C-alpha cells in the first residue's frame, strides 16, 4: 500500500516536471538577467562550453556616448538559453591610459569568442576603431583567457592579411595602384572611378593589411577557424582562415560579395553546406538581410536573397544580424541572433532572436514570432 503511494507520488512529480512550460524568448522585449537587469551584450555571439552557453557582447552605456566602449565585453552564462547569469566583464577597456589601443572611448564592436582545444585558451576577436579616429583604423583586436568568463588579456590589434593576396586575386590588384586606376578606368586623365573594385583598395592595403570592420568567427567541424570581415571600405567581404592557435589570420583568404557592401556577417553550417546571413550597409538603421550559401567555406558563394518573410521582412524585423547559434543536441536547430540598435540610448538595444526554419528545398528562412520557446525545434 505504502509503496503504491510512493509510486503514485513519483509519477505525479515526474508529470509535473515534464509538463512545466518552457520559458519563452520574446524578441525585442527587455530581457532581464539573473539580477533583473536588461542583458547588456550587444553585437554579441555565443560559445557553448562544457554544458553551458556563454553570451559575449558589447557592454553599452546610456545615451549616444554608449556607442563607444567605456566598459568592455560583457559575459553571461545559461544552460537553457532563456535564463542568463551575469558573469561580469570578460574583457575590460583600459582606463587612464590613452596610449592603450583599447583605451576607454575606443570603438570595440562585435566581439566573438572561440575555444582552442590545442592551446586550451579562449580567444576573443573584435572590431576595433582607435579612439578619436572615426572608422579609419578598421582593425581586428584579439584577446585571450584561460577561463571562459575571463578576464581576457588584450594581445594585439592589426589589419588582417598584410602581405598576402587572396586566393582569388585578380591581375589588376597587383598593378601599381595609381596606375591601375588611371590606365584601366580613367583613360589616364584622372577621375574618380565609380566602381569600388576599380579603386583597388585591396592593392592599396596589401602591405599594411586589409581593412576589417564588421566581423565574425566560424569554427568548422575539423577545428579550422575562420574570420569573416567587411573589408575594402566595406565594399567586399573577406573570409580568412585563422592560424592553428586562432590568434592571427593565416594569410589564406578569399574575397567574396565584391561591391555588395555586406555587414554583420554570421556563418553557420547545415547539412554539409555553409550559410551566411548578413546585412546591407546602412549604419544603425536596419535593412533587408541577405542570405548566401556555398559548398565550402571559401565558396563559391551564391546569394539567395532576403531570408525574412512576412511583415517587416525588409528591415529584418528591425534588426541586424550578429550571430547564428546552433542549439546543442539538436540536428537542425539554429537561432538567428540580431540587434535592434537604439543609437540614441545605446544601452536600450534589444535582442531579436528567431528560430531559423528551412523550407522544402532546405533553404533557411526567418519569420517574426513575438514569443516562442525551444519546442519550436521539435516540430522541424
Ligand atoms: C553598423 C555596424 C555596427 C556599427 C554601426 C555604426 O553598420 O553593423 O556594428 O558599426 O554600423 O554605425
Compute the distance from residue 237 Cα to the ligand 1 centre, in Å. Answer: 15
Question: How confident is the model at residue 5, as a pLDDT?
Answer: 56
Pair type for strands 364-367 and 121-129: unpaired
Determine the atom of ligand 1 nearest the C-alpha atom of 263.
Answer: 8
User: CA–CA separation, 228 vs 243, rounded Å?
Assistant: 14
pLDDT at 343: 98
Question: What does 161-217 look like in DSSP terms, one character per residue?
Answer: TTT---TT--GGGGS-HHHIIIIIISTTS----SSGGGG-HHHHTTTT-----SEEE
What is the CA(18)–ligand 1 centre distance, in A? 43
The residue whose C-alpha atom lies closest to atom 11 belonging to ligand 1 is 283
Q: State the average pLDDT over residues 263-268.
A: 98
**How far is Cα 353 from Cα 335, in angstroms, rounded to an integer?**
6
- Contacts of 260-263 spanning 24+ positions with Cβ under 8 A: 260/235, 260/236, 260/290, 260/303, 261/230, 261/234, 261/235, 262/230, 262/237, 262/290, 263/213, 263/214, 263/230, 263/234, 263/320
pLDDT of residue 177: 74
| Cα–ligand 1 centroid distance for 145 (angstroms) | 26
Residue 182's pLDDT band (boundaries 50, 70, 90)? very low
Residues 6+ apart with CB under 8 A from 272: none
Name the pLDDT band for 192 (thresholds 50, 70, 90): very low
| Whether the predicted model's global pTM rises above the 0.95 cut | no
What is the β-pairing status of strands 308-309 and 364-367? parallel
> What are 76's three cell numbers?
553571461
The pLDDT of residue 70 is above 80:
yes
- For residues 197 and 17, the model is more confident at 197
Residue 262 dihedral angles phi and psi, to the nearest 5°: -85, 140
| pLDDT band at residue 141 under the 50/70/90 scheme | very high
Amino acid at each position: 500500500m505504502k509503496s503504491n503511494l510512493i509510486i503514485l507520488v513519483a509519477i505525479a512529480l515526474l508529470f509535473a516536471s515534464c509538463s512545466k512550460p518552457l520559458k519563452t524568448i520574446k524578441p525585442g522585449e527587455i530581457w532581464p538577467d539573473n539580477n533583473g537587469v536588461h542583458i547588456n551584450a550587444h553585437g554579441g555571439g555565443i560559445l557553448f562550453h562544457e554544458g553551458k552557453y556563454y553570451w559575449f557582447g558589447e557592454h553599452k552605456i546610456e545615451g549616444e556616448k554608449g556607442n563607444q566602449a567605456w566598459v568592455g565585453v560583457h559575459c553571461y552564462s545559461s544552460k537553457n538559453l532563456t535564463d542568463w547569469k551575469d558573469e561580469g566583464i570578460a574583457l575590460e577597456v583600459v582606463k587612464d591610459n590613452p596610449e592603450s589601443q583599447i583605451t576607454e572611448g575606443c570603438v570595440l564592436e562585435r566581439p566573438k569568442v572561440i575555444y582552442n582545444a590545442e592551446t586550451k585558451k579562449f580567444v576573443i576577436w573584435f572590431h576595433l576603431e582607435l579612439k578619436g579616429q572615426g572608422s579609419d583604423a578598421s582593425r581586428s583586436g584579439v584577446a585571450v583567457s584561460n577561463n571562459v568568463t575571463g578576464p581576457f588579456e588584450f594581445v594585439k590589434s592589426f589589419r588582417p592579411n598584410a602581405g598576402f593576396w587572396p586566393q582569388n586575386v585578380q591581375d589588376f590588384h597587383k598593378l601599381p595602384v595609381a596606375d591601375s586606376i588611371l590606365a584601366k578606368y580613367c583613360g589616364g586623365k584622372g577621375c574618380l572611378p565609380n566602381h569600388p573594385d576599380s579603386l583597388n583598395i585591396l592593392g592599396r592595403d596589401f602591405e599594411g593589411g586589409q581593412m576589417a570592420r564588421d566581423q565574425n568567427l566560424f569554427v568548422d567541424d575539423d577545428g579550422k577557424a575562420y574570420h569573416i570581415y567587411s573589408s575594402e571600405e566595406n565594399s567586399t567581404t573577406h573570409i580568412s582562415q585563422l592560424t592553428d592557435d586562432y590568434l592571427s589570420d593565416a594569410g589564406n583568404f578569399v574575397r567574396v560579395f565584391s561591391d555588395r557592401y555586406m555587414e554583420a556577417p554570421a556563418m553557420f553550417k547545415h547539412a554539409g553546406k555553409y550559410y551566411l546571413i548578413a546585412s546591407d550597409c546602412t549604419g544603425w538603421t536596419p535593412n533587408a538581410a541577405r542570405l548566401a550559401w556555398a559548398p565550402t567555406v571559401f565558396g563559391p558563394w551564391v546569394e539567395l536573397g532576403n531570408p525574412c518573410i512576412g511583415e517587416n521582412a525588409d528591415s529584418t524585423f528591425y534588426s541586424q544580424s550578429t550571430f547564428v547559434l546552433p542549439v546543442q543536441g539538436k540536428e537542425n536547430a539554429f537561432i538567428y541572433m540580431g540587434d535592434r540598435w537604439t543609437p540614441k540610448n545605446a544601452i536600450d538595444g534589444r535582442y531579436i532572436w528567431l528560430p531559423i526554419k528551412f523550407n522544402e528545398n532546405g533553404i533557411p528562412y526567418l519569420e517574426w514570432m513575438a514569443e516562442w520557446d525551444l519546442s519550436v525545434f521539435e516540430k522541424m
